[in-house]
Structure 1
């Protein structure tokens, strides 16, 4: 489970609810980690027995050169350190994956091409530090409706083009069903990502209309909307991807529900909509589907 699904949880709330819900790993968000402190967060994660799957999120470096861009780059450096520390503290099989959201078109600008070029420049600056820390920067393309205010990288192809100059262990991509399900090129691009070893994380949630006024919080439990999880999940599986699958839900109604209720319903929906299309880790002793909702 990605902690964003229970957004109002503290770090302790999230670790307890996810571990007691039968999950094997957790994707954390930086703000709850920073509230506790990095060293203490790592200690608590280690005590939970959970694997660490991703840290959300860094990026947001599309602005012109100047103090704001330098501050953003420095914040990304801190995020790399946080990711490495948490991955080292997680249970065996933890991944050092830092999810990157590129950022929006800067205020007063209409230059989306220039904004994407500055994403490439930021990756070139950060990649050596990620490599030295053993961290994978996972570029997440967001649905085009977020291009003006959140992320100028809107397709898996764009994300892969940005990642291509770098070692796949250093710069990969996030495959998030909410953002890429609509793309007519998604299947060949998933295959391309797999062939180059660049799928750093696979995230799942559903798309359902009508969208609310705040479209950011319009993600639904797997199976409640129109996304074809069978086709997308099988495509990711066919690449040989063997990492955790995260459920990440941004939804005001879900956030208002009790954490344990959300954890249980998430596992059940994952078990019905996604898990049947995943190859068991051990065919002789497959883990029950809800426990793999990670």
Structure 2
């Protein structure tokens, strides 16, 4: 089996400095890396772009934009689009944000997400960056992401050119949905990114960190991969894990384990 589609999302080894992540990927024969704005800013945008470019790595996505209920969301997202373009990232992942403070109007919040993406789409198109709407598990709807299903993400994305606005299929967030395979087929060319990890039980106290490396949980990862392939997606497959236990391990060990889990349970 090949690593041709494998991408290592740097959040999986959160404590590994960016130069070491890049060097580790090169040494392991990994072709792609998913980047996050905060560590990129810490290292420097221009330095980060040069680092990955000189290493021959493809930047498969930049995370994240969105949070459309926050003050200053428009300016922040325009900066994120510019950063993605500078890094050569084809996709900017959008986490839409939760309910505005004091609001219970989730329908209105979802309408605001669609309106915000409509404002950003021309800027993203001009920059050559696709906006990738990521649905999050419903337990995050109140505070992080009112877009809770792939179907809801597609309801927004389908208003735009698929080359400009797409969706993210993240195994952690969609595996539970009994409509997910029909929605993946519906998504077709709108699939902008495919991210994998596993779901563990019992969930830790911080549920956002309830992820595991591929094969260490209960998700049918290969079935999801086969579904996105059947829908026509041929792009990178990012391993993205938020886990205190994983983060405590040496970065090179995490990368090796991510590759092994990917080859055994995803590819």
Q: Same fold (TM over 0.5)?
A: yes
Q: Corresponding residue for 2:120? A: 126
1:58-77 residue pairs with structure 2 within 5 A?
58-63=65-70, 68=71, 71-77=72-78
Quote how far apart the aligned CAs of 1:13 are: 2.1
Q: Corresponding residue for 2:198? A: 206
Q: Corresponding residue for 2:145? A: 151
Q: Corresponding residue for 1:85? A: 86
Distance in 1, matches of 2:150 and 2:238, equals 18
CA contact (8 A) 1:62 1:116 kept: no
Distance in 2, matches of 1:168 and 1:219, equals 30
SS of the residue aligned with 2:151?
A: helix
Q: Corresponding residue for 1:4? A: 11
CA contact (8 A) 1:103 1:149 kept: yes
1:72-221 residue pairs with structure 2 within 5 A?
72-87=73-88, 95-194=89-188, 197-221=189-213
Does residue 266 in structure 1 map to residue 267 in structure 2? no
Distance in 2, matches of 1:86 and 1:233, equals 26
Quote how far apart the aligned CAs of 1:22 are: 2.0
TM-score scaled by structure 2?
0.95
1:208-247 residue pairs with structure 2 within 5 A?
208-247=200-239
RMSD (Å) for aligned C-alpha atoms: 1.0
Runs of at least 5 residues in structure 1 that lack an aligned partner in the other structure: 88-94, 276-294
Quote how far apart the aligned CAs of 1:231 are: 1.7
SS of the residue aligned with 2:62?
A: strand
Q: Corresponding residue for 2:63? A: 56
Quote how far apart the aligned CAs of 1:111 are: 1.0
SS of the residue aligned with 1:203?
A: strand
Q: Corresponding residue for 1:46? A: 53
- Greater than 2 Å deviation, 4+ residue runs: none
Distance in 1, matches of 2:204 and 2:46, equals 38
Distance in 1, matches of 2:62 and 2:197, equals 18
Q: Corresponding residue for 1:280? A: none
TM-score scaled by structure 1?
0.87
Distance in 1, matches of 2:84 and 2:266, equals 27
Distance in 2, matches of 1:30 and 1:241, equals 25
Which of these residues, 33, 39, 43, is aligned with residue 32 of structure 1?
39
Runs of at least 5 residues in structure 2 that lack an aligned partner in the other structure: 1-7
**Deviation string for 1:198-250 (max 9, x for gaps)?**
00000000111100110000111111111111221111011121110000000
SS of the residue aligned with 2:60?
A: strand
